[in-house]
Chain A
Amino acid sequence: MNELSKSNPVVFAAGLGKTYEAKGKKVVALDGISLEVNAGEFVSVCGPSGCGKSTLLLILGLLLKQDEGSLKLSGTDVSDLSQSSKSSFRAEHIGFVFQDFHLIPYLSVMDNILVPSLAKPVENAADRARMLLSEMGIENRCDHLPSALSAGERQRTALVRALLLQPELILADEPTGNLDRENSTIVLDHLAGYTDRGGAVIMATHDNEAMERTGTRIVLDEGRQISSK
């Protein structure tokens, strides 16, 4: 995991706002969201569908630019980074886990896990991938294509892919949304384990069990932060 200054939170967002325009109408997706997430913190963002959870995660993951507010990730003000700098920053500091896994269908489990090394080459990436696969209990699946895996196995593969480069922050968008209870537990266990090792996880979810595993809960409604525990 990358070294972080103790004084710098992994995420520091102040007054984030985002408005979409659809069919000439303005839709406020986020309105004045502020949050601070430190290393080792497991944060859930919850709320009803359309409340802005995914938008918040995409902004935090530098895939979407906020209209208002400031954002610092790992002590860096990322608001004005160029596209290529954002890509490099993502490769180095952020891991993504999606509800739909977004594995590459023609690559084996092992190759899918190694894709991030295309963005940021690292030594012994294959060894680390095998170790993580073993931790997830799917080391015997490393030569299989995603289509041959169960949903739980796919999500575990996606999780290993997110963890490969040891980012400081994992953004998980409904990671248990398509999983049964058993697989949800496995995934949440690993995310929690990751925070125990010093990583920060922000998870968008509306699964109560998943929320209960997190230390901090941010509740959104219609783009506004209505509570933070």
Chain B
Amino acid sequence: MNAKTLVIREILHRRWSFVIGVVAVMVSVSCLLGSLALLERFDRATEQELGKINSETEKILKGHEDGIRKAMKGLGFNIHIYPEGQDLAEIYSKGYGEELMPESYVNKLAESKIVTVNHLLPRLTQMIEWPEGETSVLLFGIRGEEPIAHRSGKRKGELLDPVGEGEIALGYELHHRRNIKEGDSVEFRGKTLKVSKVHGRRGGIDDITAWVALPAVQEMLGKPGKINSILALECNCESLDRLGEVTREIMAILPNTQVIEVESRALARAQARNGAKALRIQEMENFVRDREKLRDLRAAFANFFVVLVTLLSLVCITYLTASNVRERIHEVGALCAIGLSHSKVLQVILSRAVLMGLIGALLSVALLSICGVILQSGGVFDLIGFDAYSWTALIIAVPLMSGAAAWLPAFFGARRAPAEVLRNE
């Protein structure tokens, strides 16, 4: 006969209250482990989803970058080179600038080792009156493409037809109202010029533009050897910072100039793609933020729920112990009369609660394993992420908490004077 036998026989005798206690512990421990597993599963699912979105985004963005490169490569892009002092606001409002630079700049560029620019077109532009035609004209002095020296023999072809000496090309509004045809001769500011080309309606400034050979325009405007811009066509760059790349190369050759990019389809596409990239990144950040909020909410609810269930479970154990002590009051009195000390009696009563905790904790772990197998979710223990020390701590902590919950009723039960219950009178 030993205390262990006494405890076990008593548990078997009052098995249902013990079972209720074990179930209370199981519910509490299962809630704790279950909430940990669910939160971890949520985290992993989120990580997986985020990884998927990340990889999709990477793929899309890579596609965007490739697309931008291809678009740039295929379409090229165009830039204007202006004198350093040119006010760009004037260009945006008038369509050309008043500041001039030497025509020799275009030669300097053409003779350089420049690689980012394919075609160079020097221009002198000014809005003037056409007295003979009684209208305003945007006079465009052009001389055709300046061949780039280091690419001689590999020329990609004329991008803009030059206007020959003594010839003029007219925009739609300039020839249509006057019924001027190709091959006609027109008087233009005192010079007789042969109309080499008439353009169809373009719906812009081109419709009031007259293109004349650059030297003739320089002479007409009294600006010999001067131009106000160079149009560089089909610029190609490897990097996405194409304007920066081409600007750096031009500035190294012509430091007294400035470069702006002409709006192009490729640029619009690149901007759209960059917008899509920014949107995608924003969406991803929103996803992460929303998930974090949801996780915090779930964690807070789980914590509240686990604490509540644990408290209820502890209250249940306290009540069951109080009830057990009340039921055993004569037994406790007899044990004291026989000579068992109060501490020994306390130990016997508390052992019951401690065993409730221990068995409840072990059964919860077993139940969780079985659930894992049945639900084929597998790796429930992996989800909870406890190491051996944590499991040991749990298996020790639960019986201790259970014992602590039972301590007060057990203490008062063991301390109750045996004479009160043993007296016959």
CA separation between A164 and B130, bound complex, in Å?
A: 140
* Inter-subunit contact A96/B12 (CB<8 Å): no
- How many chain B residues sit at the interface, stated as a range, is 20 to 34
- CB of B424 within 8 A of CB of A118, answer no
Partner of A63, one of B6, B12, B422, B424: B422
Instruction: Give the residues from 44 to 92 in chain A that come closer than 8 angstroms, CB to CB, to chain B.
Output: 49-50, 52-55, 58, 61, 63-64, 83-84, 87-88, 90-92
**Chain A residues, Cβ within 8 Å of B390:** none
Residue in chain B with minimal CB distance to A49: B425
Q: What would be 26 A-B contacts, judged by CB atoms less than 8 Å apart?
A: A52-B425, A54-B422, A55-B423, A61-B337, A63-B418, A63-B422, A64-B417, A83-B341, A87-B339, A100-B330, A102-B330, A103-B334, A107-B6, A111-B5, A111-B6, A115-B1, A115-B338, A115-B340, A116-B338, A117-B1, A118-B1, A118-B338, A119-B338, A119-B339, A161-B338, A177-B424
B341 to chain A: which residues have CB within 8 Å? Answer: 83-84, 87-88, 119
B3 CB contacts on chain A under 8 angstroms: 118
Which residue from A91, A116, A118, A174 sits with its C-beta under 8 Å from B6? A118
The contact string, 1 if C-beta is below 8 Å from chain A, for chain B 318-342, is 0000000000001101111111111
A84 and B342 in contact, given A111-B1, A111-B9 (Cβ under 8 angstroms): yes
Q: Which residue of A lies closest to B338 (CB)?
A: A116
**A114 interface residue (CB < 8 Å to B):** yes
Chain B, interface SS category: helix
Contacts of B424 in A (CB 8 A): 53-54, 98-100, 173-174, 177, 204
Name the distance in Å between A74's Cβ and chain B's nearest Cβ.
14
B200 CB, min distance to chain A CBs, angstroms: 111
Chain B nearest CB, measured from A151 CB (Å): 16
CA distance A107 to B338 in the complex (A): 15
A216 CB to nearest B CB, Å: 21
Name A93-116 residues within 8 Å CB distance of B. 94, 96, 98-100, 102-107, 111, 114-116
Instruction: List, in ascending order, chain A residues with CB within 8 A of B6's CB.
Output: 104, 107, 111, 115, 118
The winner among B3, B9, B10, B341 for most chain A CB atoms within 10 A is B341
A181 at the B interface (CB under 8 A):
no
**Are B339 and A102 in contact, CB atoms less than 8 angstroms apart?**
no
Contact A107 B9, CB 8 Å, known A102-B334, A118-B344: yes
B423 to A58, Cβ gap below 8 A? yes
Q: Which residues of B contact A91 (CB under 8 A)?
A: 338-340
- Closest Cβ of chain A to B425, distance in Å, is 5
B343 adjacent to chain A (CB < 8 Å)? yes
Q: Are A87 and B342 closer than 8 Å at their CB atoms? A: yes
- Docked-complex contact B417 and A84, CB < 8 angstroms: no
Distance in Å from the Cβ of A181 to the closest Cβ of chain B?
21
> Contact residue range for chain A?
35 or more
| Additional pairs, 7, CB under 8 Å, beyond known A83-B342, A98-B422, A107-B6 | A54-B425, A84-B342, A88-B341, A106-B10, A106-B14, A115-B335, A118-B2
In whole angstroms, what is the CA distance A125 to B1 when docked? 9
Tell whether B13 is near chain A: CB-to-CB under 8 Å: yes
Interface presence of B419 (CB below 8 A): yes
- Cβ 8 A contact of B422, one of A58, A105, A107: A58
Report whether B330 and A55 are in contact in the complex, using a CB–CB cutoff of 8 Å: no
CB distance from B367 to the nearest CB of A (A): 28
A120 close to chain B: CB less than 8 A: yes
| Cβ-closest 6 pairs across A and B | A91-B339, A106-B13, A114-B1, A119-B339, A102-B334, A64-B419
Contacts of B425 in A (CB 8 A): 29, 49-50, 52-55
Instruction: Name the B residues within 8 Å of A111 (CB-CB).
Output: 1, 5-6, 9
**Chain A hits for B335, CB < 8 A:** 104, 115
Known: A83-B342, A90-B337. A106 touches B419 (CB 8 A): no
Task: Indicate if the CB atoms of A102 and B343 lie closer than 8 Å.
Answer: no
Name A121-150 residues within 8 Å CB distance of B.
125
A91 to B344, CA, bound (A): 13
Chain B residues 286-317 with CB under 8 Å of chain A are none
Which of B13, B342, B422 lies in contact with A102, CB distance below 8 A? B422
